[in-house]
Amino acid sequence: MFLKSLDLKNYRNYSSCSLEFSPGINVLLGRNAQGKTNLLEAIYVLATARSHRTANDRELIYFGEDQADIKGSVSRHTGTLPLELQLGKHGKKARVNHLEQAKLSQYIGQLNVILFAPEDLALVKGNPTGRRRFIDMEFGQIAPRYLHNLTQYRDVLKQRNRYLKLLSTHQTTDKVFLDVLSEQLAAFGGSIIAQRLEFLQELEKYAQELHLAITQGAEKLTLTYDSKLKDVLGHSEQELQQLMYQQLKGQLQKEIFQGTTLFGPHRDDIKFLINGKNVQTFGSQGQQRTTALSVKLAEIDVMKEQTGEYPLLLLDDVLSELDGQRQTHLLKTIQNKVQTFLTAPAMNDVAKNLIKAPRIFTIENGH
Ligand code: ATP
Ligand code: MG
């Protein structure tokens, strides 16, 4: 798929802007603070209905205005699809084909994007929150059921934690309601774990291949799911739900004492291994970055396999962060198949690696 055009109104520092893109590579050039990242962010928001930089939609609205509008025209195998997102001070409206969608989950997934920024190179050495966010954002775009389970899980988790607080501070002694919440949490949690395991297996298949190529056959990359629950491997979704429920029940006293939920997908993590050794603890800086690159690029293929179409790739200042060999691999992987938007301070940073001429946009102060 690719984004044919984008219209912004009062989005960040763009008061009004209409752009037509190339289905190949689009380069956004400009000095600092001109609006390069803002433009990539607008495409990301059009796809996922949320920003990768902030949870507060108000920041996305042009200073002093009440509403931001993002419109895009997406070309897919099935035809052209207009998408519209309206961000107001009191919420957002999403339209697909001019029809307003009652739920955002019906909107998300029409346009698939992968965003790659310098902080993603820290995926491996950073904290577990970043790695969970990575799975949730990427997988949520292509699997509506995953997104649904995740939203429900978060709601029940909040309720359950509130109730555990009440029990831990002796404001209630009734454990029947807690059991209801445990059962609900385990139902959504077990499904999430089952889906994550499946997703990681897919991701590993492609990441392994890319990693071998980048390291010229020297490093075998494997991904494992690191769960706070015991023995999650080799179970069906239903068994995982049962497993989580049993383990929640078994640790109830500890949870009541601490006043919070100690097990479940919100505490889980991913481990990356090279030739069997944990990259986070034993890997060099370069190995950690190459691993992050392989995993990010593998997503392109996972999305293709799941949705039948390649996603868009948004690269924010990453080329300058990679050495020559990794740059070559990145550009080789995307050229001729993935519509790409990349930011750079100047053209000579990108030109040497491109086969075909890109479409170039020079950005100055939101224009
Ligand atoms: P760099 O090369 O430094 O990353 P950039 O071109 O990516 O720069 P952006 O992050 O896209 O820069 O744009 C930053 C500019 O947008 C800043 O000058 C900031 O003041 C402005 N800006 C951010 N939010 C808003 C908003 N809600 N309304 C108006 N302007 C905004
Ligand atoms: Mg920027």
Beta strands in 279-339, from DSSP E residues, in sequence order: 312-315
| 118/52 Cα distance (integer angstroms) | 13
| 320/335 Cα distance (integer angstroms) | 18
* Contact status, residue 317 vs residue 286, Cβ threshold 8 Å: no
366 C-alpha vs ligand 1 centroid, how far in Å? 8
| 77/144 Cα distance (integer angstroms) | 20
- The reply to whether ligand 1 has any atom less than 6 angstroms from the CB of 72 is no
Which CATH number fits the domain that encloses residue 156?
1.20.1050.90
* Contact status, residue 288 vs residue 124, Cβ threshold 8 Å: yes
Residues 249 and 153 in one domain: yes
Final residue belonging to a domain, choices 283, 308, 333: 308
| 270/223 Cα distance (integer angstroms) | 7
- Residues at the annotated binding site for ATP? 30-37
- The reply to whether ligand 1 has any atom less than 6 angstroms from the CB of 215 is no
218-221 LR contacts (CB < 8 Å, sep 24+): 219/274, 219/275, 219/287, 219/290, 220/274, 220/275, 220/276, 221/272, 221/273, 221/274, 221/291, 221/294
How does pLDDT run across 246-258, given as a tens digit for each residue? 999 999 999 999 9
Q: What is the pLDDT of residue 353?
A: 67
Final residue belonging to a domain, choices 308, 324, 341: 308
Residues 198 and 247 in one domain: yes
Q: Which atom of ligand 1 is nearest to the CA of 60?
A: 27
Pick from 8, 10, 11, 13 the residue to mutate for probing ligand 1's pocket: most ligand atoms within 8 Å of its CB: 13
Residues 295 and 334 in one domain: no
* Contact status, residue 156 vs residue 178, Cβ threshold 8 Å: no
- pLDDT at 11 exceeding the cut of 80: yes
- The reply to whether ligand 1 has any atom less than 6 angstroms from the CB of 37 is yes
Ligand with minimal distance to 13 CA: 1
Domain containing 259: what range?
Answer: 118-308
Residues 133 and 25 in one domain: no
> Which residues sit opposite 200 in a β-bridge?
none
Q: For residue 307, give the H/E element and its range.
A: helix 285-307
- The reply to whether ligand 1 has any atom less than 6 angstroms from the CB of 12 is yes
Residues 176 and 197 in one domain: yes
Residues 99 and 205 in one domain: no
| 333/298 Cα distance (integer angstroms) | 10
- CA distances for 123 relative to 193, 249, 277, 365, angstroms: 20, 33, 17, 31
Residues 186 and 262 in one domain: yes
Which CATH number fits the domain that encloses residue 22?
3.40.50.300
178-183 LR contacts (CB < 8 Å, sep 24+): 178/252, 179/249, 181/156, 182/245, 182/248, 182/249, 182/252, 183/245
- The reply to whether ligand 1 has any atom less than 6 angstroms from the CB of 59 is yes
Kindly provide the ipTM of the predicted complex, given to two decimals: 0.99
Residues 199 and 337 in one domain: no
Q: Which atom of ligand 1 is nearest to the CA of 317?
A: 4
| 283/286 Cα distance (integer angstroms) | 8
- The reply to whether ligand 1 has any atom less than 6 angstroms from the CB of 10 is no
Q: What is the pLDDT of residue 349?
A: 66
- pLDDT at 351 exceeding the cut of 70: no
Share of the chain above pLDDT 90, in %: 79
Q: Which atom of ligand 1 is nearest to the CA of 28?
A: 6
Residues 137 and 279 in one domain: yes
Count of structural domains within the chain: 2
Q: What is the pLDDT of residue 89?
A: 86
Among 247-256, 294-303, 318-327, 334-343, name the one with the lowest average pLDDT. Answer: 318-327
How does pLDDT run across 111-167, given as a tens digit for each residue? 999 999 888 888 999 999 999 999 998 888 889 899 999 999 999 999 999 999 999
Residues 271 and 326 in one domain: no
Which residues lie near ion ligand 2 (Cβ < 5 Å)? 37
Residues 52 and 176 in one domain: no
- CA distances for 85 relative to 47, 107, 333, angstroms: 9, 9, 31
How does pLDDT run across 86-120, given as a tens digit for each residue? 999 889 999 999 999 999 989 999 999 999 988 88
* Contact status, residue 309 vs residue 77, Cβ threshold 8 Å: yes
Q: Which atom of ligand 1 is nearest to the CA of 62?
A: 28
- The reply to whether ligand 1 has any atom less than 6 angstroms from the CB of 56 is no
Residues 122 and 84 in one domain: no
